[in-house]
Amino acid sequence: MTFAKTGLSRRAFIQGTTAVIGAAAFGAHRAAASVPAPIGDLPKGVTFRWIDSGDQKAVFYKKFFADYAKDRGIEVVYDALPWNEIAQVVPLGVRNNSAHDVFALPQNVNPADAVAQGWVQPYDDFIPDIATWKASFPAGAFLPGINEFDGKTYGLPFTSNKRYGTHLLYNKAYMTEAGYDPEAKPLNWTEFRDAAKKITEAGKGRYFGFIIGGNQLGRWSQTVRNMGRMAGASAGGDSVIEADIDFRTGDYVFDSDAYIAAIELLIAMQADGSVFPGIMSMNAPQARAYMPQGAAGMILQRPWNIGGWEGQNPEFDFGVSSGPVPDEGPVGKLTIGQGALAPNTMWLFKGSELGPIAGDIFHYLGTVEGQTAWANIVGAGDPPIFPEALEGAEMSYRSKAILQHFNEAIRVGPNPVVGNSELGKVIGAFQAPEVNFARTVQGLVAGELKGVAQEMKGLKDRYNAALDAAFAKAKADGAAVDRSDLVFSNWNPNEDFGAADY
Amino acid sequence: MFETLHRYRYHYLMLLPGLILGGMFVFYPIFAACYYAMHDWSGFNSDKVFVGMGNFVKLFTDPIFWDAFQRALIFLLGTVPLQMTISLVLAVLLNNQLLKMSTYFRTMIFLPVVTPVAVIGIIWTFLLSPFNGPVNGLLLDLGLISRPVDFLGSTDTVMPSVIGVYVWKWLGITMIYWLAALQTVPDDVYDSAKLDRCRGAKLVWYIVLPIVLPFAVAITLISAVGALNVFPLIMSMTNGGPFFASEVMEIFIYRTAFATGDGSIPRLGYAAAAGVFFGFVVLSLTIGQAIATRRARAGAKEIRS
């Protein structure tokens, strides 16, 4: 690897970063839908507050809330914060009775706990004929133990879970020069490594084959998990107690051949010198910002890059495709939990007196009109939960292509909480090992840890111990749970797991 | 007693605002941290379980905690001597009023002190970047390295890099302390030394340094306490990584309390225990500072007389 001057100046980088942030914050290149008629009498002259994790969602909300506030004669404060800040702001707000009226739950708070602790309130009373409204959602959107408790509706499940965060986005010119066309045929692991090498060689220090935000730990676990799943490790689930568990056996797959091979591939690419220098001190948005600047050829990230780049970097010619597939054998499916996308599910604060406004907005987001407006702006980044909204949405060919890929690559797996809602107590008690999955992969790629197979075996042992401890604690607290609740012997990873399969 | 209270009632009244503010922002958080440290609590719910000293027992057997503690000490030992020595040399040079542009140089050296830490951290990540970073560019141009160094991404170089940035950032304030100390050396001491033909390094070593020694002790300990409070710089530069390599105590506490990052529950009680322990370490340093300053002051008096 050699150092060379490139076209990416500090100014260009900052402009690029700003552009991506701008895309998230202001880049509404399509107009939001008009504000719907109110569903009932709403308070006026009040301030309504909403908080979530932003990204492409912010593009929709900034425009929609501005129009909505004007139409309803209220003020709407929309805060988009990263998850680590949501994890601080929301609990503190709840404790001080000053939380936002509507919030996304921190990722380490499970809904059952939020209900039990009195963080949230049901919104059944704020939407007229809520049963009919709920019936218009796809099956599995509302689930007891997930967003329904004691027959009441608590969470708004308005975006689809059917997406994954490590599909390939690549610079078309570099990829063509390297002799590959992933849109025509997804790269297999060997081709992925070879493409990275060839792009790096062609770059002569001005650009590199592959980039990843290695300082953002979750990128490592997601990348290995999804590559491992596609290579045949049947790991399922979304929540902390089920990710990386093979539901057929109830055991972790950290030491599976597929996971180990995926890590070894990343280490080999690092050794090839075809990984962008400085990845360990770079987070995902920084890595993302380098792509349109031409500093890297490939990145495995989320679909919301598509809208951001198309809006802010229209000159950037990029392609999207499946994440790397195994060299031989069938391509494994990616598993998602039954239900809507948990991080985007919105909750009404128990202390809020503006339930009617929340109900008005929730109602709109749960109509074809609202869902289509959402799809028009957010696109593939956070797809709407109504399939018909996707069909009618105006989206780029890239967004449509990646959504089609998601449909092919992703299957709904079992959600153990649906099988036994008391597992929520296990989730609440689970304490992941300090040297967790993501850190272990980072340590192995950074060269701080040696021996992939041995480390992954140790990791599996640590997770098993942590999971056993969580079950023991939940049982001691009176929960009727058992590790066999994580076993679904009839699960076929290549098919959707429906309500009848429990 | 009541008569005394009545007589000095206005004095006590004047003390009240300070006591109230101190109670709210100093004493209450200290007691709250001690209270939480004795509970197994995520901070999310009301399920606080009293565990007594259990968190401390766990803490003392936690290798990741001790690694973080060790790194905090390495950071302290890496920064304080460097900071003290470089700033003293600069202060001695810039204390000479006849030196041209001394005010300009003092201002330039002080400038990073008033720049927000987060800004410094972000700018230095660009400067140290292995891809097009000017520091790597310079080293390559000078032929000192053959390939770019990933200063913040390598477990070998991350701590020295952050230490370097920290020393650069806070050099100015230590230099100001030294300048203040140097200005307490009476002119007649310099005059007497000149009469005795004591100049240059000899003058500094045998005359000036013994007089400013009490200040040196205080400055060292202030710098040491400062070097233990590096949260914003490390968060903005490395987030404690890669693979814990720059995770000092404060980052450990923050990660444990809030940013588990893997979706599992935080451990506010455990983090509070680490915080209480860390507080005791800082308190010990402060007590050491008071004792050492008193002793050094007594020694300096003898030299002056």
Instruction: Specify the DSSP class assigned to residue A251.
Output: E
B150 at A interface, C-beta within 8 A:
yes
Cα A363 to Cα A141, A157, A356, B232, distances in angstroms: 14, 11, 10, 42
Nearest CA in chain A to B152: A281
What pLDDT score does A392 carry?
81
Contact present, A205 and A3 (Cβ < 8 Å):
yes
What pLDDT score does A111 carry?
87
Quote the mean pLDDT of chain A. Answer: 88
More confident residue, A418 or A12: A418
**Which ranges of A73-140 would DSSP assign to H, the alpha helix?**
83-95, 111-116, 130-135
* Closest by CA position to A308, among listed A28, A496, A92: A28
Contact present, A107 and B34 (Cβ < 8 Å):
no
Per the CB < 8 Å rule, is A279 touching B153? yes
Chain B from 107 to 126: CB within 8 A of any A CB = 125-126
* DSSP-assigned beta bridge partners for residue A252: A245
Which residues in chain B are closer than 8 Å to A432, comparing Cβ atoms?
260, 262-264
Judged by DSSP in three states, A245 sits in strand
What pLDDT score does A32 carry?
46
A301-348 residue pLDDT tens:
989 899 889 988 999 999 999 999 999 878 899 998 877 777 899 999
Per the CB < 8 Å rule, is B132 touching A6? yes
* DSSP-assigned beta bridge partners for residue A210: A275, A298
Question: What is the rounded CA–CA span in Å between residue A177 and residue A344?
Answer: 39
A5-44 residue pLDDT tens:
344 444 444 444 444 444 444 344 444 457 899 999 999 9
Q: Domains in chain B, ordered, with CATH?
A: 59-128+162-304 (1.10.3720.10)
Distance separating the N- and C-terminal Cα atoms of chain A: 53
Q: Are strands A296-301 and A208-211 parallel, antiparallel or unpaired?
A: parallel
Q: Domains in chain A, ordered, with CATH?
A: 47-156+342-381 (3.40.190.10), 160-341+397-502 (3.40.190.10)
* DSSP-assigned beta bridge partners for residue A384: A159
CB atoms within 10 A of CB A429: 25
B147 at A interface, C-beta within 8 A:
yes
Contact present, A10 and B147 (Cβ < 8 Å):
no
CA-based torsion, A247, A250, A255, A257: positive or negative: negative
Return the beta strands (E) in A157-276 as ranges: 167-171, 208-211, 245-246, 251-252
Nearest CB among A6, A8, A280 relative to B241 is that of A280
Question: What is the rounded CA–CA span in Å between residue B38 and residue A294?
Answer: 53
What pLDDT score does B305 carry?
58
A292 prior amide bond cis, ω within 30:
no
Cα A256 to Cα A166, A231, A462, distances in angstroms: 20, 10, 15
* Closest by CA position to A202, among listed A6, A350, A420, A11: A6
Nearest CB among A108, A276, A447 relative to B260 is that of A108
Q: pLDDT band at A3, cuts 50/70/90?
A: very low
What pLDDT score does A110 carry?
80
User: What six digits make up the tokens of A93?
Assistant: 């707000």
Nearest CA in chain A to B154: A446
Mean pLDDT of A457-467: 95
What pLDDT score does A418 carry?
82
CB atoms within 10 A of CB B108: 11
Per the CB < 8 Å rule, is B243 touching A240? no
Q: H or E stretch including B49?
A: strand B49-50
Evaluate if residue A1 carries a pLDDT over 60. no
A245-271 residue pLDDT tens:
999 999 999 999 999 999 999 999 999
B44 at A interface, C-beta within 8 A:
yes
Q: Which ipTM value was assigned to this complex?
A: 0.73
B64 to chain A nearest CA, in Å? 8
Per the CB < 8 Å rule, is A280 touching B152? yes
Per the CB < 8 Å rule, is A446 touching B153? yes
Evaluate if residue A59 carries a pLDDT over 80. yes
Mean pLDDT of A130-149: 91
What residues contact residue A247 under an 8 Å CB cut-off, 6+ apart?
A234, A236, A237, A413, A414, A486, A487, A488, A491
Per the CB < 8 Å rule, is B264 touching A8? no
**Below-70 pLDDT ranges, chain B:** 44, 97-98, 259-264, 299-305
A413 to chain B nearest CA, in Å? 20
Return the beta strands (E) in A228-330 as ranges: 245-246, 251-252, 296-301, 318-321
Per the CB < 8 Å rule, is B131 touching A295? yes
Nearest CA in chain B to A88: B258
Which residues in chain A are closer than 8 Å to B121, comparing Cβ atoms?
none
Question: What is the rounded CA–CA span in Å between residue A360 and residue A371?
Answer: 14
* DSSP-assigned beta bridge partners for residue A410: A334
A91 at B interface, C-beta within 8 A:
yes
B238 at A interface, C-beta within 8 A:
yes
Evaluate if residue A132 carries a pLDDT over 80. yes
What pLDDT score does B260 carry?
63
What pLDDT score does A282 carry?
84
User: What six digits make up the tokens of B159?
Assistant: 């701590």
Contact present, A97 and A116 (Cβ < 8 Å):
no
Question: Which of A13-17, A164-168, A235-239 has the weakest average pLDDT?
Answer: A13-17
Q: H or E stretch including B111?
A: helix B102-114
A267 at B interface, C-beta within 8 A:
no
Evaluate if residue A235 carries a pLDDT over 90. no
What pLDDT score does B261 carry?
60
Per the CB < 8 Å rule, is B242 touching A281? yes
